[in-house]
Amino acid sequence: MKKGLILLFTLLTSASLDAQTTLRENSTKNAVYGHLGINPSTLLTVGYQRYLADSVFNREIIVFSEISSSLFTPGPKDSEIKLGGIISIYEWNKFKIINSLNFSYGSAQSINFDSKKLAVGDELAIGFYGPKSFVATSIEFEHVYLNHLKHSDYFKDTYFSDVKDGWYKGLGGAFQFGIETGFTLKKKVDIHLELKVPFTEKFNSYMGSPFHLTLGGRYRF
């Protein structure tokens, strides 16, 4: 029971999987990182990771928090905060299966609406992890559990005057299938590249960017 609760806690506090977090020297306990890319709009992410020892599974857990914002419209109005954790759930030599789970809160403001969302995402990466590099395939799923929409006067006048504002049960969710790779540049600096193809949670066309691309860097200390 206790192990189950710990596992549940671990998964629930674990997100944007970054398989490279497993590549590090044991002497470092912290890392700061940044991502740049399109996912789903242009995105700049900064985050912090903390490596924790897990006495239950005798395995390392990484918890992280990060904040993202649109690259061209930076600021809180188009942003997302994620809290999560990463854990290796299976290892055999260099082969690993890594899971990452996250909670996110996002805001999107446009000429049409002011939207907030609460979502849970999980990502599974399966790949080969060497001491200085890795390559993996990934499956990511995110489901939005709650949305709050407040529409602008512009939207009401131009499109739909009787649109309903308020809390909506989840309006979306998406799968992403991807490949990712990374390598260690210097002793404490990692580079990470990820390409993903998004679909809706019912495997319909995403109707946005046909692919998501992220370039990341990390400094461990």
User: Which residues lie near another protein (CB under 8 A)?
Assistant: 38, 40-42, 70-73, 78, 80, 106, 108-113, 115, 117, 144, 146-147, 149, 154, 157-164, 166-169, 171-174, 198, 200-202, 204-209
Q: Which helix (H) or strand (E) holds 77?
A: none
Write down the least CB distance from residue 152 to another protein, Å.
11
CB-nearer residue toward another protein: 53 or 111:
111
What Å distances lie between residue 142 and 2, 44, 120, 183, 215, CA to CA? 27, 19, 6, 27, 20
Write down the least CB distance from residue 29 to another protein, Å.
28
Beta carbons within 8 Å of 157's beta carbon, 6+ residues apart: none
CB-nearer residue toward another protein: 53 or 207:
207
Distance CA 106, CA 68 (A): 9
Find tokens 């740049």 and name the residue: 36
CB-nearer residue toward another protein: 29 or 150:
150
CB-nearer residue toward another protein: 163 or 191:
163
CB-nearer residue toward another protein: 10 or 115:
115
What Å distances lie between residue 189 and 59, 64, 74, 151, CA to CA? 23, 17, 26, 44
Write down the least CB distance from residue 172 to another protein, Å.
4
Write down the least CB distance from residue 209 to another protein, Å.
6
Write down the least CB distance from residue 178 to another protein, Å.
16
CB-nearer residue toward another protein: 28 or 209:
209
Write down the least CB distance from residue 49 to another protein, Å.
22
Helix count and strand count (H, E) for the chain: 2, 11
Give exposure, 54-91, as e/b (b: 16+ Cβ within 10 Å): eeeeeebbbbbebebbbeeeeeeebbbbbbbbbbbeee
